[in-house]
Structure 1
Amino acid sequence: MKIEVIPEEAIRSRVADLLTEQLKHNPKSVLGMTTGSSPLKYGIYREWIRREQAGELAFHEAKFVNPDELVGIPADHPESYRSYMREHLFSQLQTLRSEPHIPDGYATDLLAECRRFDQLLADLGYVDWQLMGLGLNGHIAFIEPSDHIPAKTYISQLFEENRPTQSLHFRSEDEVPKRSITIGLEAVMKAKSIVLVAAGENKADMVARAFSGPITTCVPASFLQLHANATIILDPAAARRISL
């Protein structure tokens, strides 16, 4: 694991540079995506789109994978992660050729869907380059803090602060998903390269716990300390409680 501290406004370019290096090395890369606020707040996906339009990035041979999805809403629901990715990235990429792979949170048999997704990842040879954010409670993908974290894809109970309860797309709180389908630690550790972005004062405490504290299932991101090729990109505010 290596840590880079850069200005917030440089995050989008740095992540795009790393992605460009990955695709230059392997144009057929399996690219792991992330949802949440970071790709939008820091303009990460917008920079990829800009570079593609400028002819600096191309995704003709790449495959996209998302590690998680909310359970209980259809793929075309505006709050689904499939809808998020379509709106903010996939629909705007001109060189995207293959259908992105995202778990089906609306599957009739969720356990069978977990097994299907694990097999898909194995068939792909796992992810070559995985973008991640850091949850305020230390989650990565939707691997929430727990006494036990499964190795395989599983159904995760969402912490209350991570449920989209403020969305106008749900008529009542009962409609708001309480669970997600998410990869387990095996898929995280088998990703060949991970790029995690965390910025802002509100991430400082969790950054310190995750990347300079003990490795524990209570802070799932702490397992990235064991990853052979994880790059943690922080701004000064998020890095202020760690020693470099």
Structure 2
Amino acid sequence: MKIEVLPAGEIKTRVADLLSEQIKRNPKSVLGMTTGSSPIKYGIYQEWIRREQAGELSFHEARFINPDELVGISADHPESYRTYMQEHLFGQLQTLRYEPQIPDGSSIDLMAECLRFDQVLADLGYVDWQLMGLGLNGHIAFIEPGDHIPAKTYISQLFEENRVSQSPHINSEEEVPKQSITIGLEAVMKARNIVLVATGENKADMVAKAFTGPITTSVPASFLQLHANVTVILDAAAASKISLY
């Protein structure tokens, strides 16, 4: 595991450089995406769009895949992760050729959808380069803490702290999804490269637990310590409770 501490303003450039290196190595890369606040707050996706428009980056041969989706809302719902990705990245790319793969959280047979998505992953040969965030409770994708972590794609019960508490597109808190469909640990560990971004003082405790503490299902991100190729990118605040020496 490589841990890099950067000024917040340099995070987007570093992530874009790592992505560019991956596409240069393999233009047909399967690229795993993430939602959440960090890609937007730090301009990560916007930097990719800028580089593509400048002719510095092409996604013509690449394939995109997202590891999770909220259950119980349609794909075109304003709060779905598919909508998020379409608005913030996919809809602005000029070289996007293949339809991005995202679980269908509105499926009438969620177990069948889990099996289907596992087959999608297998058919693609799993992910070559996965961008990740770190949840406040240590989740990655939407693999929440628990007594065990499923290996395959499954239906995850969302912790209250990870549910959207307020949204202009959802009428009441009761309507906010309580579940997600998410990849399991097998797909995480089969990703050939993982880039995880965590920022802010509120992530400092979890960064220390996840990357310097014991490996435990109560902190799903801790399993990344066992992965062969992970780059963790932090700002100074998020890194404040770990020793890099």
- TM-score calculated relative to the size of structure 1: 0.99
Partner AA of 1:87 in structure 2: E
Equivalence map 1:1-244=2 (5 Å): 1-244=1-244
Partner AA of 1:207 in structure 2: V
1:165 shift after superposition: 2.4
CA distance, structure 2, for counterparts of residue 28 and residue 241 of structure 1: 38
CA distance, structure 2, for counterparts of residue 68 and residue 102 of structure 1: 7
Contact 2:166–2:173 under 8 Å retained in 1 = no
CA distance, structure 2, for counterparts of residue 165 and residue 145 of structure 1: 20
Secondary structure of the residue aligned to 1:58 is coil
Secondary structure of the residue aligned to 2:64 is strand
1:117 shift after superposition: 0.3
Partner AA of 1:238 in structure 2: A
Partner AA of 1:108 in structure 2: I
Unaligned runs of 5+ in 2: none
Partner AA of 1:96 in structure 2: L
CA distance, structure 2, for counterparts of residue 164 and residue 8 of structure 1: 25
1:130-172, Cα deviation, whole Å (9 max, x unpaired): 0000011100000011111100000000001111120021112
1:173 shift after superposition: 2.1
Partner AA of 2:134 in structure 1: L
% identical equivalent positions: 82
CA distance, structure 2, for counterparts of residue 34 and residue 21 of structure 1: 19
Partner AA of 1:83 in structure 2: T
Which consecutive aligned stretches of 4+ in structure 1 deviate over 4 angstroms post-superposition?
A: none
Partner AA of 1:219 in structure 2: V
Contact 2:134–2:198 under 8 Å retained in 1 = yes
1:210 shift after superposition: 0.3
- TM-score calculated relative to the size of structure 2: 0.99
1:3 shift after superposition: 0.7
CA distance, structure 2, for counterparts of residue 81 and residue 96 of structure 1: 18
Unaligned runs of 5+ in 1: none
1:44-64, Cα deviation, whole Å (9 max, x unpaired): 000000000111100000000
1:183-207, Cα deviation, whole Å (9 max, x unpaired): 0000000000000000111111000
1:236 shift after superposition: 1.0
Give the aligned length. 244
CA distance, structure 1, for counterparts of residue 50 and residue 24 of structure 2: 17
Contact 2:152–2:184 under 8 Å retained in 1 = yes
